[in-house]
Structure 1
Amino acid sequence: MTGIDVHFNAGDKVGHACRLLRKAVMGAGAKVVVVAEPPLLQTLDEALWSFSPGDFIAHCDASAAPAVLSRSPVVLLQPQQAASAALPHHEVMVNLGTATPTGFERFERLIDVVGLEPQEREAGRERWRHYQSRGYTITRHDLGAARSSG
């Protein structure tokens, strides 16, 4: 069963996603699919090119050629592509969107990132209830507590 981690109170979702991806890819050698709406994916794509001068995180769009997809440790996926995309792996999915990502249950792990805006928090609560009602064990990570203690 998919392991689910919910990272909530993310003041900077893109910055948090960049740090998560660096840790997952460079630290653990994981392959990751990131789900978000197109404007947020575009911002993340740009941030991954400049996030850390010494750490380039290779990535591509889910619509890339199969040869590119198979070599990219990070795949950027729009929610509407989720049902039909031929993803090269099912290791880790990071959800930056507001909806429950289609097909998350095929992944070993889901990291669901929830921002600070009231509508994002409510959508995050709905996703939490969805996961919980289906019997998933959820590990919570309060990013606000981490900021205030660090």
Structure 2
Amino acid sequence: MTRVDFAFGAPERLRKACEVVRKHYEAGRPLQIYLSDTRLLHRFDRLLWGFEPNAFIPHVFIDDPVAQDTPVLLTHQAPKPQTPDTWLVNLDDHCPPGFEQFSRILEIVSERETDRQTARERWRLYQAAQCELHSHDLRGR
């Protein structure tokens, strides 16, 4: 069964995603980041390189020749786990195609109403697929 963790209340979704990716990279966890909008995915790629002066997160696009040796992969295509312990970070407005192949999915939701609304839709789809759902409030309330 796939476990999906929604983190609600991020002041800025992509910035919080960088922090989440760093945390899991430092824990030694392989990750894939899915975002179907290639322009936004390239923006996230640049943000990962420079969101903090001392943060280093080795990452490449999934079709890069060194992808098999890189712990964090970016993709705009249907994600597929590289290893059984690969987690998926979904930055898209929709559920990723083939999400049930992953044991764990992380969803980061900003405070913007449109972001919260699309997250609610994803929650319902994951629920209908009988995923194990968890909600976390990033605002500390």
TM-score (norm 1): 0.84
Structure with more of its chain in helix, by fraction = 1
1:33 counterpart = 2:32 = yes
What's the Cα RMSD here? 1.7
CA contact (8 A) 2:80 2:101 kept: no
CA drift of 1:105 comes to: 1.1
User: Of the candidates 73, 77, 80, which is equivalent to residue 71 of structure 2?
Assistant: 73
Superposition pairs for residues 41-56 of structure 1, below 5 Å? 41-56=41-56
| Matching residue of 1:21 | 21
Distance 2:80 2:29 in 1: 18
Distance 2:45 2:98 in 1: 22
Deviations 1:60-89 (A, max 9, x none): 012212xx11111111111xx11xx66533
CA drift of 1:51 comes to: 2.0
Counterpart amino acid of 1:107?
F
Q: 1:59 to 1:121 in 2, by over 3 A?
A: same
Unaligned runs of 5+ in 1: none
| Matching residue of 2:93 | 98
Q: 1:48 to 1:17 in 2, by over 3 A?
A: same
Counterpart amino acid of 1:40?
L
Query: Could you tell me the percent identity over the aligned residues?
Result: 35
CA contact (8 A) 1:69 1:87 kept: no
TM-score (norm 2): 0.89
